[in-house]
Amino acid sequence: MLFLWYPSKLLGRSKTYMSKFLKRSAQGAQVPHEKRTSNQETVKMPLPSKIVLSMGQHIGAPAAPQVKKGDQVCVGTVVGKAGGFVSCDIHSGVSGTVDGIITITAPNGAPQTAVVIIPDGKQTVDPAVAPPTVTDLKSFQDAVRASGLVGLGGAGFPTAVKLAPKNLDEIDTLVINGAECEPYITSDNRCFLEDTQFILDGIQAVMKYLEIPKCIIGIEANKPEAIAKMKSVATAGVEVKELPCRYPQGAEKVLIENCTGREVPFPGLPSDVGVVVMNVTSVAFVGKYLKTGMPLTTKRLTVDGDVIKEPKNVEVIIGTPVQELMDFCGGFTEEPGKVLYGGPMMGNCIADLSQPILKNNNAVLAFSKKMAQIPKATNCIHCGRCTNACPLGLSAKEIVQAYNDGNVELLIELNADLCMSCGTCSFVCPAKRPLAPSIALAKIMMKNGGKK
């Protein structure tokens, strides 16, 4: 049985301990494969009855609505303008009428402004949509910013910011994340098989304008078709690296170490070790956008889970209500116990099926009450599996004990804030203790100065 966890983020500190921690990235968990839709070609979902475009579909400042109720918009029209450097434009995926500006609840529980648009069925493209003119680094970065692209692997970090590292002259490797290590999700695998040329075009553009001489495409060994296809088309300077099938291979620090042998310092960024990382879907979008000029308005995602009647990979317009996506996949075989944005290890729970599809969604999974039931925890047996499995070498058991004791100093010493909430510790725990959720709470306590 899979266990479904709740992700979190936070803090930072010295680099002194990194050599003893990050060389453990061969650790992790052997999670179930469950790639049932890997051979299913992507199907396009018809127009929804409405789209709900959150202004906060990215890390950073939310976008500001640029429309009002009654306005007419087209496919590709900017309806939300980036609220700062670390922010992103939001574009309409339909032509139609703005029905209103509302407040919705984000996956993390925070309120977000959203623009509701009713399609007119015509799908008229905005006259401003055209392939960008790119001649140098700045015009390339400007084009990516105008496209509305964020990290499509789940993080939602504005891609234009990622492609503007301060130490650009030190970057020598582009790493493409094609690990897709969580169970069920196959949307990236389909991207490799269906958007091969766009992937190559995107890689070549990033390498050209950022003057990066080498690219490594990391793909887990359980995707042989994707590996074979990318090896058959790889150009000069592009290497396809087969990765071990161990979760969480797709975690940025783990991926970089396994692809390049380099350790990312903490606090630190991939650029600190000469690397830029992009998800395969993100780089494919770059290749497509440079040819078409169509901003980010649709998303390929996997719909699966033990209560989904018709699991499939779907191209869906961003902002489509989850309920309508579920209906397109035949609905549920029984009332779900849990529906997730993303995978079963790091996904976010969807409290209301009226919630919309977001830019960084790569899957919507629905599980029965039996699958979603959290197992009863028993006492720790001090087996050490949580520490042995942690890809960053953290001691989950000690962190949770420090949290229960309210000992912030010890949490700092144990580097609790380094935890990336992958859920590996909880997954391997034979006592079924909720280690990952407790560590997430510990990081919040650290941020709040000791207050739980």
CATH number for the domain spanning 210: value is: 3.40.50.11540
Residues 285 and 165 in one domain: yes
Residue 22 has pLDDT above 60, yes or no: no
374 Cβ contact list (under 8 Å, min separation 6): 3, 4, 434
Q: Is residue 288 located within the same domain as residue 303?
A: no
pTM reported for the whole predicted model: 0.91
Same domain, 85 and 222: no
In angstroms, the CA 202 to CA 285 distance is: 7
Tell me what pLDDT residue 396 has: 95
Last residue of a domain, one of 292, 313, 329: 292
Which domain-ending residue is among 328, 355, 372? 372
pLDDT band at 224, cuts 50/70/90? very high
Give me 161's structure tokens.
Answer: 């910011």
Do 204 and 283 fall into the same domain? Answer: yes
Q: Does residue 15 carry a pLDDT above 50?
A: no
Phi, psi of 209 (to 5 degrees): -80, -25
Task: Of 15-19, 305-309, 411-415, give the range with the top mean pLDDT.
Answer: 305-309
- Check whether 12 has a pLDDT greater than 70: no
Do residue 109 and residue 233 come from a single domain? no
Residue 1 located in a structural domain: no
Residues 256 and 324 in one domain: no
- CATH at residue 122: 3.10.20.600
- Same domain for 49 and 124, yes or no, is yes
Please indicate, yes or no, if residue 11 is contained in any of the structural domains.
Answer: no
pLDDT at residue 8 in the model: 30
Q: What is the mean pLDDT of residues 434-450?
A: 91
User: What mean pLDDT comes out for the span 417-436?
Assistant: 94
Task: Indicate whether 245 pLDDT > 60.
Answer: yes
Taking all residues of the chain, what is their mean pLDDT, rounded to a whole number? 91
- 211 and 335 in one domain? no
- Apex 155 CA angle, 53 and 146, nearest 5: 55
Question: Is the domain of 364 the same as that of 398?
Answer: no
Overall average pLDDT of the 379-398 stretch: 92
Q: CB-side exposure of 218: number of CA atoms within 13 Å?
A: 29
In whole angstroms, how far apart are CA 304 and each of 296, 307, 344? Answer: 23, 8, 11
CA dist 418 and 442 (Å) reads 11
Average pLDDT of the segment spanning 355-363: 95
pLDDT in tens, 25-64: 557 899 998 999 999 999 999 999 999 999 999 989 999 9
CB 73 within 8 A of CB 346: no
Please count the structural domains in the chain: 3
Shared domain check, 321 and 382: no
- Tell me if 438 is assigned to some domain: yes
Asked if 266 and 226 sit in the same domain, the reply is: yes
Q: Is residue 6 part of a domain?
A: no
30 is a domain residue: no
pLDDT digits (tens, 9 = 90+) for 202-223: 999 999 999 999 999 999 999 9
Query: Could you tell me the CA-to-CA distances from 97 to 59, 115, 116, 128, 327 in Å, in that order?
Result: 28, 11, 9, 18, 24
- Alpha-carbon gap, residue 144 to 162, rounded angstroms: 10
CA distance 408 to 393: 19
Structure tokens at 341: 């944005």
According to DSSP, the residues that pair with 105 across neighbouring strands are 111
Residues 6+ apart with CB under 8 A from 304: 34, 36, 37, 184, 185, 311, 363, 365
User: What is the mean pLDDT of the segment spanning 349-378?
Assistant: 94
Contact call for residues 421 and 154 (beta carbons, < 8 A): no
Q: Round to whole Å and give the CA distance between 438 and 444.
A: 10
Alpha helix stretches (DSSP H) within 134-266: 137-147, 159-162, 187-194, 196-209, 224-233, 252-260
Give a yes or no: residue 189 inside a domain: yes
Q: How many residues does the chain have?
A: 452
Determine the Cα–Cα distance for residues 176 and 162; give it in Å rounded to an integer: 13
Q: Which domain-ending residue is among 356, 372, 388?
A: 372
- pLDDT (tens digit per residue) in 189-202: 999 999 999 999 99
Q: Are 147 and 158 in contact (CB under 8 A)?
A: no
Give 38's contacts (C-beta < 8 A, 6+ positions apart). Answer: 186, 189, 190, 223
Residue 96, in any domain of the structure: yes
Domain enclosing residue 213, as ranges: 137-292
Q: Is residue 19 part of a domain?
A: no
- Are both 196 and 266 inside the same structural domain? yes
**Choice between 82 and 23, residue whose per-residue pLDDT is larger:** 82
DSSP 118: E
Q: Please tell me the least confidently modeled range out of 197-201, 204-208, 348-352, 399-403.
A: 348-352
